[in-house]
Structure 1
Amino acid sequence: MVSPTLALLHTSPVHVPVFEGLRDQDHPGFALRHLVHEDLLARARAEGPDAVADDIQELLEQAVAEGASAVLCTCSTIGAVTEARAAAVGVPVVRVDRPMAAAAVAAGRAVAVVATLESTLGPTRALVEEEAARAGRPVEVTTVLVDGAWERFEAGDGEGHVRLIAEAVDALEGVDSVVLAQASMADAADRATLPVPVIASPRPGLRAAVLRCGVGGKS
């Protein structure tokens, strides 16, 4: 029997060690294959996610041909268009932020979506509203763009990036949960002190994708 392999579609190489670390903690020995294509995010930001849909399908088809049992898209900006290609490629395609959105909806009506890229706000807000409709729960979504944080991230200033996000989260009022819209924001979940769930996508997203491969892991 061939062991399952999960392909991960990234738009930044910084995500590779993050998901490798989570795999080692929660799903030891599980095979991951990383596909890093930074150009997808640049083009999606400039032209819209649909502009890269055909390229994404080619990458998914290649991943399946090379043995992927499922694909996890770790970029929120292109998550919806990637997920929509699942039927065409014949294996599960998971967007990393869907389990996070479901958890946020379960925590209460008022959900804040915090992002460092404006292109992520719309897709993530739509995802939270979709999960709320699926769960039959009312939801009120507010969005926050953290000015300057993405520039810190691109410059390699991880500490400054996390600090700005955590400060933006802690300034929120009247929310039941907070969604950190991008996988790159995950470290801010532990830094923020707001007394509501501050949810990052990598761990629940990886867990969901591994389960779609038909394999469990530690909770």
Structure 2
Amino acid sequence: MRITCLHTAHSNVAVFDAAAEALGVAPDVLRHEVRPDLLAAAEHAAGLTIELTNATTSALLSLAREADAVLLTCSTLGPAVEGLSMNTPILRTDEALAIAAVQAGGQIAVLCAVETTLEPTSRLFHRAAERSNASVSVQWVPGAWALFKAGDTEAYLTTIANAADRAYAHGASVVALAQASMSGAATRVTAGPPPLTSATAGLCAALHAVLNGPKHGR
């Protein structure tokens, strides 16, 4: 089995490797492709352009030729997956997170570090919530991404954890961390259960897709 991740931040390699290890996934299953230029282009354009969608789609299709499943781990680029049709599953980690977050209903607080992800993340989570009785609030954490880009991981994760604690204090029953880079903040949250992360949700979705697909399923 081979699951290939398309990242836009080098630090997410370690995040997904750790999530895979926690899930008991063999070390040789997960492969990584890192394209920081794609997110940089999206930030420069203040969103996902047609050209950037095409570039992301091309990268995903190329990876799918040598994988059993492909995970797009960047929520800003997520909409590029829509409409793709391949025998190899090409999945969005943020979509897997949205589905997992709304399953039990209640008040869902979705935290975003990157401002360009607000619109696609909001659309995705509200669409998932239509099939449940969940109420969704998508929130930007100001200043967090600047800390990440400056390499201050400690302050970045603390800022995210504090935002999650505030969300719980304001009545959230579930907190979801929209970007994979936020995953390390989950263990720092004290006001409620550890937030859901896109790395774990995405890998679970990929494993399910592979094991229940035509090659492995019944």
Same fold, TM-score > 0.5, yes or no: yes
Question: In structure 1, what is the equivalent of residue 173 of structure 2?
Answer: 176
- Could you list the runs of 5+ residues in structure 2 that have no partner in the other structure? 214-218
Cα distance between partner residues in 1 of 2:28 and 2:19:
11
Question: In structure 2, what is the equivalent of residue 192 of structure 1?
Answer: 189
After superposition, residues 140-179 of structure 1 pair within 5 angstroms as: 140-172=135-167, 173-179=170-176
Cα distance between partner residues in 2 of 1:178 and 1:163:
15
Give 1:31 shift. 2.2
Question: In structure 1, what is the equivalent of residue 127 of structure 2?
Answer: 130
Q: Match for 1:80: what amino acid? A: P
TM-score by length of 1: 0.86
Residue 90 of structure 1 aligns to a residue in which SS?
Answer: coil
After superposition, residues 1-219 of structure 1 pair within 5 angstroms as: 4-25=1-22, 26-47=24-45, 48-51=47-50, 52-65=52-65, 67-81=66-80, 83-87=81-85, 89-133=86-130, 136-172=131-167, 173-196=170-193, 198-214=195-211
- Could you list the runs of 5+ residues in structure 1 that have no partner in the other structure? none
Give 1:7 shift. 1.4
* Deviations 1:179-210 (CA, angstroms, capped at 9, x unpaired): 11100001111111122562111112112112
Q: Is the contact made by 1:176 and 1:197 (CA closer than 8 Å) also made in structure 2?
A: no
> What is the RMSD computed on CA atoms of the aligned residues?
2.0
Cα distance between partner residues in 2 of 1:40 and 1:16:
16
Give 1:84 shift. 1.4
Cα distance between partner residues in 1 of 2:191 and 2:97:
17
- Alignment coverage as a number of residue pairs: 208
Give 1:215 shift. 7.3
* Deviations 1:100-141 (CA, angstroms, capped at 9, x unpaired): 2122212333211111111112212211112122xx323332
Give 1:13 shift. 0.7
TM-score by length of 2: 0.87
Residue 103 of structure 2 aligns to a residue in which SS?
Answer: helix
Q: Which runs of 4+ in 1 moved over 6 A?
A: none
Cα distance between partner residues in 2 of 1:108 and 1:146:
23
Over 3 Å counting, the alpha-carbon distance change for 1:137 and 1:21 in structure 2 is closer
The percent identity for this pair of structures is 37
* Deviations 1:36-59 (CA, angstroms, capped at 9, x unpaired): 111111222333224311111211
Greater mean alpha carbon deviation, residues 192-201 or residues 180-189? 192-201
Q: Is the contact made by 1:85 and 1:93 (CA closer than 8 Å) also made in structure 2?
A: no
Q: Is the contact made by 2:97 and 2:198 (CA closer than 8 Å) also made in structure 1?
A: yes
Q: Is the contact made by 1:149 and 1:161 (CA closer than 8 Å) also made in structure 2?
A: yes
